[in-house]
A and B are shown apart, each in its own frame.
Chain A
Amino acid sequence: MNARDRILAKLRPFSPSTATTAPDVAAWFAAHRPVESPAEKARRFRHFIELAHAEVHAVTADNWLKTLCAVLRARGIEQLLVAEGTPHGEQVLDGLPPQGIECATYDMAIEAWKTEMFTATPASLTAARAAIAETGTLILWPDALEPRLMSLVPPLHIVLLDATKLYNTFYEAMTAEGWKDGLPTNSLLISGPSKTADIQQTLAYGAHGPKELVVLMLNVPEGAQ
């Protein structure tokens, strides 16, 4: 027998497969997390992600590029990593270079430009798939167009979020979107810039990932601006 079979053989005799009934997660959330209006969700999302040290701007489809530009300029950054082939990436590639922002794209495998990514990429823009109000959390599903490291390595990470895609809870997000039927190779919840309190319980931002997280919120409902 190999280790696998030995371990399973040690467990098997003591495993009653019907001894306990299934926990009712849905009932708990139904009882403890009331449905919220879009405006309430947007307010809560903003409140919690700002508590976690993120900067949030309400934007419109017409002015978000301008805000993006201002965010970069305020930090003296003249270079942005964007995802070619995504609608928001294409808009940036069209709109920002004339404003003096140089736009780089993630057009080859990381091995070919690891050093540049780590040392010469001050900022990135990605979209969020959705977000969670109760904890101020962005949901990202990195893919071939917008790979994983875009949200991790650049010191400034800017996220474009459509506020109509706000869920109340993590549970609601995964069930509404049917995640159990298929997850990508990597999916992420992000709730602020990278941080640590490992030295004498003192909070410090910018541990290994982004030092700053900026959220550009599209379609913010009335009453949550």
Chain B
Amino acid sequence: MSDQITEHRLHFKPAEGFRSRAKAVVDTPFLRQSFRGAMDFLMSKRAAQFPDPEELESLRTLGEQIRQYNLARLPDLLEQLEANLTRNGVRVHWAETPDEANAIILGICQQWNAKLMVKGKSMVSEEIELNHAAEAAGISALESDMGEYIVQLAGEKPSHIIMPAIHKTKEEIARLFAEKVPGVDYTDNVDALIQIGRTVLRQKFMEAEVGLSGVNFAVAETGTLCLVENEGNGRMCTTVPPVHIAITGIEKIVEKLDHVPPLYSLLTRSATGQNISTYFNMISGPRKPGEKDGPEEVHLVLLDNGRSQAYADEQLRKTLQCIRCGACMNHCPVYTRIGGHAYGTTYPGPIGKIVSPHMLGLDATAGLTTASSLCGACGEVCPVKIPIPELLMRLREEAFSAPHPNPAMRGQGAGYSPLVSAIWRGWAFVYRSPAMYRAVSWLTSRFNWLTPSRQGAWTSVREPLKPAAKRLRDRVRERG
């Protein structure tokens, strides 16, 4: 392994290039097939976990209630969590922005003269682009989740929040390992590839001064951080190095320990179709005197980064119910066509479209809000019943309305177009008035031979739309 893990700085791409990135994937049959196959696999695994629709529905309702109950008490619970973690010996830090979070984490690393930070899977650390900040500070940040390790080796970003390397075939990974991991010959045997990763990373777990992780649930009443994983790298990162730093969004909090089992069950069953993950790791403090392993210091970084903006609006607050299972991606016909990278945001897919505007502002994400047919598959499978289509419509309104004072969101009006708004006003002018509508639709039907044969984007893959020569109302009237 070279010390310089990624060759170049990678930043999340602005949403502007979305359409061309989406087109690039859509036009590649191999990629389309492989995303389709992967999503079919995940959808069937989830379905097998929920054979009883009544149980699923009641569990989703319970999950929604738990999340809403805890969000309603968020500021109190954050204080309770902080008090109990502090009592347990965990140091709690607060960050409003990605820069603040990076400064906190790198500050801790510097206190420990850390050269190497091993990372368990954490989407929040992707959100703050910690790896680049660490590199700039001379600290290697090494991903240890197999999927994350693969995308980091490739100089890429995760394309799925649960399956980071879902866009890669085993042959691509085999070539990547042979090229980037010293002393490794080409093999596309999956077990052999995993053993290569295991060997490399076990060495790094021993060397690292700092282990970083995300948090799936933070329990306020006990001061406990819960982590869900299958591989064991999360446990390595939180147990072997002398320092463990956990980072989480401020929303991932529950008041009571008994709120955890329903959410945990919904999470693993919805995400990968497992009845449970291999490990559920509950961390309530650093190594105590007399204990022989575990970190000497445990830190928690609580990150806002736009979440408080979503929180301030009753409807948008539902965005924060998310437990990051990724089921909305797996069931999304758009994600299935274009994969995760096309979105250009840390969180892709339906959840990405509703959460990213709060993190990046609508200026950078307005275009993404249109990348949905509002088919509702995401909302249907969401384990905590986030009404994703409804939130997308709200975000469209925020994005495309004329800028106004006191907006609910940063970047409100970023997608405003006087022409488009005028067209909709004109549309409303016609359709709100029966007389106008009759006149206009009469003209388009009588002069339907004037209908253009090229109708912009519609006719790129479809025959032109042509109004009928006689409207239904004409035929009804003629019939008497």
Residues of A within 8 A of B (CB): 2-4, 6-8, 10-17, 19-26, 28-29, 31-32, 48, 52, 106, 108-111, 114-115, 118, 134-137, 143-144, 147-149, 152, 169-171, 174-175, 179-180, 182-202, 204, 206-210
Most buried by B among A28, A108, A180, A198: A198
**In the complex, are the beta carbons of B232 and A209 less than 8 A apart?**
yes
Q: Are A187 and B96 touching (Cβ within 8 A)?
A: no
- Chain B nearest CB: distance from A5 CB in Å? 9
Which residues of B sit under 8 angstroms from A108, Cβ to Cβ?
A: 292
| Contact between chains at A208 and B233 (CB < 8 Å) | yes
Q: Give 1 or 0 for each of B163-191: 1 = CB within 8 Å of chain A CB.
A: 11110111001000000000000000011
Report B294 CB to chain A, min CB distance, Å.
6
Residues of A contacting B173 in the complex (Cβ-Cβ under 8 angstroms) = 199-200
- A148 and B42 CA atoms in complex are apart in Å by 32
Let me know if A135 and B275 touch, CB within 8 A.
Answer: yes
Please, which residue of chain B has its CB at the minimum distance from the CB of A18? B72
Least distance between A115 CB and chain B CB atoms (Å): 7
- Among A110, A137, A207, contact of B233 (Cβ-Cβ < 8 Å): A207
Cross-chain contact A191 with B202 (CB below 8 angstroms): no
Contacts of A11 in B (CB 8 A): 74-75, 78, 250, 308, 311
* Complexed CA–CA distance, A74 and B146 (Å): 30
Q: How far is the CB of B112 from chain A (nearest CB, A)?
A: 14
Size bracket of the B interface: 35 or more
Are B302's CB and A7's CB within 8 A?
yes
Cα distance A115–B73 in the bound complex, in angstroms: 46
Q: Is B100 an interface residue (CB 8 A)?
A: yes
> Do A196 and B194 touch (CB < 8 A)?
yes
Bound together, the chains give a CA A106 to CA B168 distance in angstroms of 41
Distance in angstroms between the alpha carbons of A23 and B170 in the assembled complex: 44
Give CA–CA (A206, B460) in the complex, Å: 50
A135 touches B282 (CB 8 A): no
Which of A106, A175, A195 is within 8 Å of B258, CB to CB?
A175
Can you report 27 residue pairs joining A to B where beta carbons are below 8 Å apart? A3-B95, A6-B96, A11-B78, A12-B75, A15-B75, A28-B58, A118-B202, A134-B275, A144-B290, A147-B292, A148-B235, A152-B235, A174-B260, A185-B284, A189-B276, A189-B280, A192-B278, A193-B278, A195-B230, A196-B147, A199-B165, A199-B173, A200-B170, A206-B198, A208-B231, A208-B235, A209-B236
Task: Write the chain A residue with the least CB distance to B239.
Answer: A148
Interface centre among A143, A191, A207 (most CB of B within 10 A): A207
State whether A183 and B41 are in contact (beta carbons under 8 Å apart), knowing that A8-B75, A20-B68, A199-B190 are contacts in the complex.
no
The smallest beta-carbon distance between B455 and chain A, in angstroms, is: 41
Mark B103-132 against chain A: 1 for CB-CB distance below 8 A, else 0. Answer: 000000000000000000000000000000
Which of B146, B240, B282, B317 meets A198, CB within 8 Å? B146
Tell me if B264 is interfacial: C-beta within 8 Å of chain A.
Answer: yes
**Residues in B whose Cβ lies below 8 Å from that of A8:** 75, 78-79
Tell me whether A10 and B233 are in contact (CB under 8 A).
Answer: no
Measured between alpha carbons, how far is A136 from B290 in the docked complex, in Å?
A: 31
List the B residue with the shortest CB-CB distance to A106: B292
The answer to whether A7 and B145 have CB atoms under 8 Å apart is: no
B350 to chain A, nearest CB (A): 21
8 Å CB contacts to A: which residues of B54-76?
Answer: 55, 58-59, 62, 65-66, 68-69, 72-76
**How near does chain B come to A104, taking the closest CB pair, in angstroms?**
13
Closest residue on chain A to residue B45 by CB atoms: A201
Q: Contact: A14 with B198, CB < 8 Å?
A: no
Q: How far is the CB of A82 from chain B (nearest CB, A)?
A: 14
A207 in contact with B194 given A14-B312, A28-B262, A185-B285 (CB within 8 Å) = yes
Which of B75, B145, B281: most chain A CB closer than 10 A? B75
Taking CB atoms, residues of chain B closer than 8 Å to A192 are 278
Measured between beta carbons, the chain A residues less than 8 angstroms from B293 are: 109-110, 147-149
Q: Is the CB of A209 within 8 A of B275?
A: no
Q: Contacts A25-B258, A187-B282, A190-B278: A2 and B239 contacting too (C-beta < 8 A)?
A: no
**A207 and B78 alpha carbons, distance in the complex (Å):** 34
Q: Are B222 and A180 in contact (CB under 8 A)?
A: yes
Check A207/B308 contact, CB under 8 A, given A7-B94, A25-B262, A180-B222.
no
Report Cα–Cα, A13/B66, bound state, in Å: 21
In the complex, what residue of chain A is closest to B150 when comparing beta carbons?
A198
Q: Which residue of A lies closest to B62 (CB)?
A: A28
Contacts of B389 in A (CB 8 A): none
Q: Which of B83-104 contact A (CB under 8 A)?
A: 88, 94-96, 100
A185 touches B291 (CB 8 A): yes
- Cβ of A191 and Cβ of B165 under 8 Å apart? no
Instruction: Tell me whether B429 is interfacial, beta carbon within 8 Å.
Output: no
Give CA–CA (A68, B145) in the complex, Å: 32
The one of B94, B145, B164 in contact with A4, judged by C-beta atoms closer than 8 angstroms, is: B94
List which B322-353 residues lie within 8 A (CB) of chain A: none
CA distance A210 to B235 in the complex (A): 12
**CB <8 Å contact, B145 and A198:** yes
Contacts of B278 in A (CB 8 A): 52, 190-195, 209
B224 at the interface (CB under 8 A from A): yes
Q: Mark B189-209, 1 if CB is under 8 A from A, else 0.
A: 011011101100110011000
Q: A3-B96, A194-B230 are in contact. Are A208 and B150 (CB under 8 A)?
A: no
Give the contacts of B254-305 with A (CB-CB under 8 A).
256-262, 264-265, 272, 275-288, 290-294, 302, 304
Q: Is the CB of A137 within 8 A of B230?
A: no
Nearest residue in A to B262 (C-beta to C-beta)?
Answer: A25
Q: Is the CB of A15 within 8 A of B76?
A: yes
Additional A-B contact list (20), CB under 8 Å, known A14-B311, A28-B58: A2-B94, A7-B302, A7-B308, A8-B79, A11-B308, A13-B312, A16-B72, A20-B72, A26-B258, A144-B291, A179-B257, A182-B222, A183-B222, A185-B283, A186-B284, A188-B279, A194-B278, A197-B230, A199-B168, A208-B231
